[in-house]
Amino acid sequence: MSGADGERTVLVTGGAKGLGEYLVRAFFAAGYRVCVSDVDGKGAADLAAQLDSQGERAFGLALDVRDPEAFVVAQARMLEAWGRIDVLVNNAVVTRAQPVLEIDPDDFDAVVGVNLRGTFVGCQVLGRHFREVGAGRIVNIASLAGQNGGTATGAHYAASKGGIITLTKVFARDLGPFGVTVNAIAPGPLDLPSVHALVPPDKLEGIVAGIPVRALGAPGYVARTAVHLADPEASFANGATWDINGGLNMR
C-alpha cells in the first residue's frame, strides 16, 4: 500500500461515542490517520475535529453500515485524502435488552441489520479492496454474549454477535491467502455509559460479583487490543476471537 509518508490509516464504524470513541482515540494515539464514521455524522465530525482541527490526520463522516454504498463512499474519501486504507474496525452496534419471548421480529431484524449485516457489508466491501492491494487488517467487535447467549442483553444482540464470530472465520479463511487478516474481539461487560444505562444498578452489582476479577472491563484496553491486531506484523493472527471478559468464559 502506498502513501506519501507511509502513515497507516483506519476506518472505524460506530466511532462517535462509546467503545467506538475509545477505538478512534487509541488508533490516533498509535499514529494512525483515522476516518471516524458513524450514523451520527455530526458526532463523528466533532470527534475528528477534537483530535485534529486541521483534518490532516482525522476526519468524520456519516456512514450507515447497512448500506454497501456508504462503505464505498468512505473508501473513496480515504483514498482521495490519504492514498491508502490499511485497517477496518467493524464496531457499529445496536444494543437492546429484552426477554426473548417479547422481542418483536422487526426489532430482531433491526438489531441484526446493524450488528451482523453491517459487519458483513464492511468486511465484504473493504475486503475486496484489501484483496486487490494484497494487504489489510479487519477487526470485528463481537461480544461475550455471542459465546454464552448473554446475561444482560437480548437474544437479537447475542445472536448477531455470535454471527460476527462466524463471519470472522469465513472472511479470515477466504482473505488470508491475499495478505489480509480478519479477527474478532469478544469483550465481556465494559465500564461504559451504555452498560450502566442498560443494566439497573442492583443487577449490575450482581453481574460484577459474578466476574472472577470482580470488575467491569476497561474499554481502553479493548481498543488497544484492536490496535495490536491491526499491526503489520500481526500476520499470523487470523480467524481468532480474542476474549477479554474477566474470566467469565474460559476456554
Q: What gap in Å lies between CA 77 and CA 67, rounded to an integer?
A: 16
Q: Which entry of 22, 32, 157, 221 is annotated as an active-site residue?
A: 157
The CA–CA distances, whole Å, from 240 to 138, 166, 171 equal 11, 10, 11
HSE, CB side, 13 Å, CA atoms: give it for residue 249: 18
Cα 101 from Cα 10, distance rounded (Å): 39
- Closest alpha carbon to 217 in 184, 241, 169, 185: 185
Task: Dump the DSSP string for 80-133.
Answer: HHHS---EEEE---------GGG--HHHHHHHHIIIIIHHHHHHHHHHHHHHHH
Can you tell me which residue has the cell 470472522? Answer: 168
Task: Give, as one character, the DSSP assignment of residue 56.
Answer: S
**Under a CB-based contact definition with an 8 Å cutoff, are residues 116 and 104 in contact?**
no
> 3-class DSSP state for residue 167?
helix
Give the CA distances from residue 114 to residues 119, 157, 220, 251, in Å, rounded to whole numbers and listed in that order.
8, 10, 23, 28
Is 157 annotated in the active site?
A: yes
Q: Distance between CA atoms of 88 and 110, rounded to whole angstroms?
A: 23
From the list 161, 169, 81, 78, the residue with the least C-alpha distance to 126 is 78
Catalytic center residues: 157
